[in-house]
Structure 1
């Protein structure tokens, strides 16, 4: 059965904008903000649990749900802060995240995005992951979207890139391309 509408569970307008830019022509996308407590665990465990719980909630719009989890993994710290980046960024800010790597020569990092899709309550979520390797640098560019100002890919931070370029190479863009291909195969 063709997908007529997809509920993206997010309150983040920047994420919504990026998702609409990549998926908007495939399926009508609705957005709903839900306060979902995140479990501790691996990237996949957190993503699947979040999606299962979102699908189980009686949504106003109804239908299949899409959740997203973003990680920033410092290679020198064995992939920390990873899925806990939101809390690290809130507590430490951009400068504090940089300071975590002061004692290490290795400033490389991986930006990881995991989308989980679930048709509804009781269904097993499908996972679509994208990774981009870059490095952590002092903040450059606008500071209105998470840790974008400190993640550099080939000489530019995500914050310095125009949106189309970022969408074409970012962790989120890579995950969304996989999701988009899957959605197209379901039509």
Structure 2
């Protein structure tokens, strides 16, 4: 579903997108938003990474930091869940710290070629998929989301099925 591209801070964008999706479908919704925040640029491109990447590509993202010594960055994924129209939105975030490097590896997935996670010698693009999926910002956000749904399901008490609703299975 195409949703409006809201402007603002990460959380505000996710909350507004999720509320709009819940309004449209009138049922529970889950949306995802990803940011790539360069510390030298005060967090930019942040939630606008899609447009920066579209215009500059991985090479241009790397070149953006040419004048700065600090090449550190945070890859942030936020899942927003809303149980229905007009209800509270819950946010689940995962973050992977890393460095913006000259692009290396396959160029088939966004900014992966220029993001090298801390404690790794390879970019997201160069890492085996299994490794990337274990350490990625998206994986961490999904773990938080999973914890929420597991705790929600564990806190629900089973309800007695009324006698008239029970089938005769003998």
Please give the secondary structure, in 1, of the residue aligned with 2:125: helix
**1:158: which partner in 2?**
124
**Matching residue within 104, 107, 113 for 1:143:** 107
Structure with more contact order per residue of length (Cα contacts < 8 Å, sep ≥ 6) = 1
**1:92: which partner in 2?**
56
**Matching residue within 30, 36, 46 for 2:3:** 36
- Consecutive unaligned residues of structure 1, counting only runs of 5 or more, are 1-33
CA drift of 1:124 comes to: 1.4
Structure 1 segments (4+ residues) deviating >4 Å: none
Larger radius of gyration: 2
CA drift of 1:120 comes to: 1.1
Aligned length: 151
CA drift of 1:100 comes to: 0.6
Matched, 1:113 2:77: yes
Q: Distance in 2 between matches of 1:111 and 1:42?
A: 15
TM-score (norm 2): 0.86
CA drift of 1:162 comes to: 1.8
**1:177: which partner in 2?**
143
- Consecutive unaligned residues of structure 2, counting only runs of 5 or more, are 154-170
Please give the secondary structure, in 1, of the residue aligned with 2:116: strand
CA drift of 1:171 comes to: 0.7
**1:14: which partner in 2?**
none
RMSD in angstroms over aligned alpha carbons?
Answer: 1.1
Matched, 1:55 2:32: no
